[in-house]
Amino acid sequence: MAKRILVVEDNDLNRKLFCDVLRASGFEVEPVADGELVLNAARAFDPDLVIMDIQLPGVSGVDLITAMRRDGALREIPVLAVTAYAGKGDEDRIRDAGATGYLAKPVSIGPFMASVRGLVPA
């Protein structure tokens, strides 16, 4: 059975790229553009991994990761945080919130897939 990945990304091009690359690699993918829908989408889709954009309109990806870690149904799901605004201390703050992995944008396909495979063993 294919591993399932929830892709949380508000940028249409990035979301499509992530989803296309993941599907081509055999993953089942559920895209989410609106941060307000993430927790319900994660409960419904039951992913093996969540790829979380940190800069979302209306809600911070860091806050969503924190909320996932407090939710009994979601707390064990690994989260790969992806952000374009990687300032000093951001990675520590994001990992402290509960992110399992971290990538700074722009993301290259090789490191992206290596991170995904490191978090979702076949």
Contact 47, 1 (CB under 8 A): no
For the entire predicted model, the pTM comes to 0.95
First to last CA, the chain: 10
Question: Which phi and psi angles does 111 have, rounded to 5°?
Answer: -65, -35
- Per-residue pLDDT tens for 2-33? 999 999 999 999 999 999 999 999 999 999 99
CATH topology of domain 4-108: Rossmann fold (3.40.50)
- Per-residue pLDDT tens for 31-75? 999 999 999 999 999 999 999 999 999 899 999 999 999 999 999
Q: Lowest mean pLDDT: which of 50-54, 61-65, 82-86, 118-122?
A: 82-86
